[in-house]
Structure 1
């Protein structure tokens, strides 16, 4: 019965709920609650008060965990394995990748040279700005801020504010020197 419930929920999400209005519109019609209800049954783990916005794509969602009071912004595209902590804000159009293609063998097309999946971890109290790209295997540590448009290629330290391509530490929220 649980398997049937998963398939019903994922079908309802991609056919209907994904296309409902964003939660910030006056005509949202409870879309935040509907998407949250479905995602609690789709994701590996989902905390309280999650916010999955309009247009979010998460493939099967089976290897995604999201903590309390966290959300995925408008039109995000994420893949698992992905672990999102508590109180995480993820802006619109963010892309999180957990797998890449190799290119070292010339006898096999690059599209067939996939690396194994590497999980992405986003710890508690993180803010990820609009249109950020996060690459496989990255951990964004507690309290970090990732500026809009950044491309995160390596781990982000606790309380760091990063930006750019590739993302670099700009400063620290706790007063440490860069």
Structure 2
């Protein structure tokens, strides 16, 4: 009952409150959204930021770790798994399903939906503004998804990913290696 009341309160009131950076009311709005979403999500770590107008369906199977966030105007499925220290930019869209289209003898509109395993965003990930993450993807630990990326496949840990379709731009591990002169 508390979960349903929290979900109604979030969608009717709290999602419309100012963003966390808005003077005075922003931090209060952030705390109110967090307090509400702790009752909606399956698991919710501390210091979680749910951005203004974020949409997450019923949210009943969402797991989100400590110090992570769902970005402003983001749309995520209600079964996403988000690790710790995850930054998500504005207008990120994460798909949890897609239209079935395997059969050619009937219209695609009559084929229903194909479900996928939940999208998993591991720890210490940064997802840039306007990125699109397709259903079933795993974003590995320490990765950066550049703004505007359409994430179509999985990449190794500490990858910097960009483009449409997505491609490996470089590894953060290569950047982190000290250079000897």
Q: TM-score range by the shorter chain?
A: over 0.9
Structure 2, gaps ≥5 residues long: 176-181
Structure 1, gaps ≥5 residues long: none
Partner residue, 1:83: 81
Secondary structure at the counterpart of residue 173 of structure 2: coil
The number of residues matched between the two structures is: 173
Partner residue, 2:6: 9
TM-superposed CA distance for 1:104, in Å, is 2.5
TM-superposed CA distance for 1:158, in Å, is 0.3
The partner residue of 1:20 within 17, 22, 32 is 17
The change in CA–CA distance for 1:112 and 1:118 in structure 2 (over 3 A counts) is farther
Q: TM-score, normalised by structure 1?
A: 0.93
TM-superposed CA distance for 1:98, in Å, is 1.1
Q: TM-score, normalised by structure 2?
A: 0.92
Partner residue, 1:62: 60
1:84–1:122 contact (8 Å) kept in structure 2: yes
- Partners of 2:130 and 2:33 in 1: CA distance: 22
Partner residue, 1:158: 157
Secondary structure at the counterpart of residue 6 of structure 1: helix
RMSD across aligned positions (CA): 1.3
1:17–1:34 contact (8 Å) kept in structure 2: yes
